[in-house]
């Protein structure tokens, strides 16, 4: 497998790679700028590269920490570790505590939400603001339908063939979650690179299967604990939501407003699930304005 450690993707990812080891797994992150930390969390099947257009502006005034979850980006992709929500939270928490970050603004999308908030509800004193981008941290009732591709990926054998064999999380789900499809060519190579073969795609397959639907799912207890403790994070919050998202649709805004009625709300018509790719400048401006008004 190609070593991506120093890969800059034609200069679009010029950031010095940093690594943190937790329980034998080497986890990659970037750490740019100084000031109050903004920690930006990706989901599936992306990596820190998703925030490459956020870091230059935000790092002028803040310290930007952008980790890659286990199995993604420049982090290790071990075959002998549990790719569960609990383990991802544990990895992320270990990094946050090792860096001893305080007054954190969490920016979270997709699985970045439950992972970031999984840390946040245990360490609320470290969290100063929340930026919620098309994510969730809620129990899902038994029988709730998921996006059709996610349902297929969850099926035994079918999922392996589609995700590990054909790399369809990257080649199918990711393009389906982009509104400005004319931009796909410029960034797809950087999202393909971490997943060149069957074994490297173990994390992308595990995430859809770890969506906790119903009370019996192994990760339901973890997600339920997060949901039940979200009220501990009584901090300034902004919800920036892409309205064209097929996977985490606009009704989830109401669920978040139920938890954080004080939250600001910004709806973006011209963005889909991977809104950081669709409208990065607009989102960065909203975050900067939010930071200024909530010093």
Strands 18-22 and 25-32: antiparallel
Strands 237-242 and 264-268: parallel
Q: Quick check: is 110 catalytic?
A: yes
Q: Quick check: is 123 catalytic?
A: no
Q: What share of the chain is helix, strand, coil (3-state, %, to 5)?
A: 40, 20, 40
Side-chain-facing half-sphere of 27: CA atoms under 13 Å: 25
Dihedral sign computed on CA atoms, order 73, 79, 80, 82: positive
Please tell me whether residue 280 adopts helix, strand or coil conformation. Answer: helix
Length of the chain as a residue count: 295
Residue 148 CB neighbour total at 10 angstroms:
11
Tokens of 248: 């985490």
Given the residues 245, 262, 266, 289, the one annotated as active site: 245
Q: Quick check: is 98 catalytic?
A: no
Given the residues 28, 42, 88, 273, the one annotated as active site: 273
Helix (H) or strand (E) holding 256: helix 251-259
Distance CA 14, CA 281 (A): 19
Determine contact, residues 88/27, Cβ cutoff 8 Å.
Answer: no
Where in 84-186 does DSSP place strands (E)? 104-110, 127-135
Given the residues 76, 110, 210, 278, the one annotated as active site: 110
CA distances from 186 to 6, 147, 192, 277 (A): 19, 26, 12, 10
Quickly list DSSP for 203-254.
HHHHHHHTS-BSTTSTTHHHHHHHHHHGGG--S-EEEEEETT-SSS-THHHH
| Phi (first) and psi of residue 129, to 5 degrees | -150, 155
Catalytic center residues: 110, 245, 273
């Amino acid at each position: 497998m190609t070593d991506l450690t120093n890969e800059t993707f034609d200069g679009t990812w010029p950031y010095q790679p940093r690594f943190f080891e937790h329980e034998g797994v080497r986890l990659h992150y970037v750490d740019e700028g100084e000031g109050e930390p903004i920690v930006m969390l990706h989901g599936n099947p992306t990596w820190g590269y998703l925030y490459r257009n956020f870091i230059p502006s935000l790092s002028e005034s803040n310290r930007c920490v952008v980790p890659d979850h286990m199995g993604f980006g420049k982090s290790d992709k071990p075959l002998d570790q549990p790719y569960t929500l609990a383990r991802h939270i544990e990895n992320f928490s270990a990094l946050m505590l090792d860096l001893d970050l305080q007054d954190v603004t969490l920016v979270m999308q997709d699985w970045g939400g439950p992972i970031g908030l999984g840390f946040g509800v245990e360490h609320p004193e470290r969290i100063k603001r929340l930026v919620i981008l098309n994510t969730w941290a809620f129990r899902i009732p038994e029988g709730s339908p998921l996006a059709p591709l996610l349902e297929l990926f969850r099926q035994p054998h079918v999922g392996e063939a589609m995700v590990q064999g054909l790399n369809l999380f990257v080649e199918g789900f990711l393009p389906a979650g982009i509104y400005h499809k004319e931009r796909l060519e410029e960034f797809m190579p950087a999202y393909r690179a971490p997943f060149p073969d069957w074994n490297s795609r173990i994390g992308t397959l595990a995430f859809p299967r770890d969506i906790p639907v119903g009370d019996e799912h192994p990760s339901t207890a973890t997600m339920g604990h997060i949901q039940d403790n979200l009220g501990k994070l009584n901090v300034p919050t902004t919800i920036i939501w892409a309205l064209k998202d097929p996977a985490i649709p606009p009704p989830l805004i109401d669920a978040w407003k139920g938890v954080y009625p004080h939250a600001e709300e910004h709806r973006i018509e011209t963005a889909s699930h991977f809104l950081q790719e669709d409208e990065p400048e607009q989102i960065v401006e909203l975050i900067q304005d939010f930071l200024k008004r909530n010093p």
